[in-house]
C-alpha cells in the first residue's frame, strides 16, 4: 500500500536535547512538508521541499532543521533552540502536478518535553 | 498573506440534522481549496479539492461548494461516524497550504 509513514508515534524529549522525527513516503511524490499542530490552532508550516537537496523555510522554521537527501525521506530535527516544542507534528507529500495539487498526510508524531 | 477563517469553531448536531460549515479565505491567485477530515490523534484525511467558483464535489453525506470568497461543507443527514474536525486549506502560487483552525463536529445518536 502506498502512503506516508511517520515514526515514532510518541516521542519524549528532555530539555536541551535534539530529537529527529522520521517521515518516509512511497507515493513517488516530489514535494514534502512538515506542519506543526497545536490545540485550537490551524496547521502551521515549518519547512517544505519540492525536490531532492532543496528545501525552504515555512512560517515557523526557527528551532527546526530538515534534510532531503532522498526523494522518499524528509526527516525533521527539533533542536534545543525550539523553546516550545511540545506539539503534534504532521508530515505531508504532494505530487507537484498542477492538475493534482492536494497533499496527503501521515499519522503524526506527538512530541512532549519532559 | 493568505488567510483562512473557519466557522463555527464547534458544531453539535443530532443524528439526521443537516448543517453547513463555512471557510472564508483571502488569497492571491487561488490554485486550489482543500477540505480534510481529522479524527483525534490522527493525521488529516483528504476529502475534496475545489479549483474555481461554482464548482461542487460530493462524497457520501458531504458536499463541498466554492465561491470567490468562501467555501461551504454541507453535511446531509449526519451520522455519529461523521464526528470529526473538518479542516479547510488554500493553496496559491506557493506550493504551501494555509490552513484554517478547523470546525469540530459532534453528531449525537
Relative to beta strand B103-108, strand B97-99 is unpaired
Residue owning grid cell 508515534: A9
Give the residue-averaged pLDDT of A49-56. Answer: 94
**Integer Cα distance of B83 and A36 in angstroms:** 23
Confidence at residue A1, expressed as pLDDT on a 0 to 100 scale: 61
Contacts of B39 in chain A (CB under 8 A): none
Instruction: Identify the residue with better confidence: B66 or A114.
Output: B66
**Integer Cα distance of A96 and A89 in angstroms:** 22
Interface test with A, best of B31, B40, B43, B92 (most A CBs within 10 A): B43
Nine cell digits for residue B51: 479549483
Contacts of B95 in chain A (CB under 8 A): 31, 48, 50, 94, 96, 101
pLDDT band at B95 (very low <50, low <70, confident <90, very high): confident
**Integer Cα distance of A31 and A97 in angstroms:** 10
> Phi and psi (nearest 5°) for A75?
-75, 145
* Angle ∠(A17,A22,A28) on CA atoms, nearest 5: 155
- Residue A73 DSSP label: B
Q: Do A43 and B31 touch (CB under 8 A)?
A: no
Contacts of B32 in chain A (CB under 8 A): 101-102
Amino acid at each position: 500500500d502506498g502512503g506516508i509513514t511517520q515514526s515514532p508515534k510518541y516521542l519524549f524529549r528532555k530539555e536541551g536535547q535534539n530529537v529527529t522525527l522520521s517521515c518516509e513516503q512511497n507515493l513517488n511524490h516530489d514535494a514534502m512538508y512538515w506542519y506543526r499542530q497545536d490545540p485550537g490552532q490551524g496547521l502551521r508550516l515549518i519547512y517544505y521541499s519540492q525536490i531532492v537537496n532543496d528545501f525552504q523555510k515555512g512560517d515557523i522554521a526557527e528551532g527546526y532543521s530538515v534534510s532531503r537527501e532522498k526523494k522518499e525521506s524528509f526527516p525533521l530535527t527539533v533542536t534545543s533552540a525550539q523553546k516550545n516544542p511540545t506539539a503534534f507534528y504532521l508530515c505531508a507529500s504532494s505530487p507537484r502536478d498542477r492538475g493534482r495539487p492536494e497533499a496527503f498526510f501521515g499519522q503524526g508524531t506527538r512530541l512532549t518535553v519532559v | 498573506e493568505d488567510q483562512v477563517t473557519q466557522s463555527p469553531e464547534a458544531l453539535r448536531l443530532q443524528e439526521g440534522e443537516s448543517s453547513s460549515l463555512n471557510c472564508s479565505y483571502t488569497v492571491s491567485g487561488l490554485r486550489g481549496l482543500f477540505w480534510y477530515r481529522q479524527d483525534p490523534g490522527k493525521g488529516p484525511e483528504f476529502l475534496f479539492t475545489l479549483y474555481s467558483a461554482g464548482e461542487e464535489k460530493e462524497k457520501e453525506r458531504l458536499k463541498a461548494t466554492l465561491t470567490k470568497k468562501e467555501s461551504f461543507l454541507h453535511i446531509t443527514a449526519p451520522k455519529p461516524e461523521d464526528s470529526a474536525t473538518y479542516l479547510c486549506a488554500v493553496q496559491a502560487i506557493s506550493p504551501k497550504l494555509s490552513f484554517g483552525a478547523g470546525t469540530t463536529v459532534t453528531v449525537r445518536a
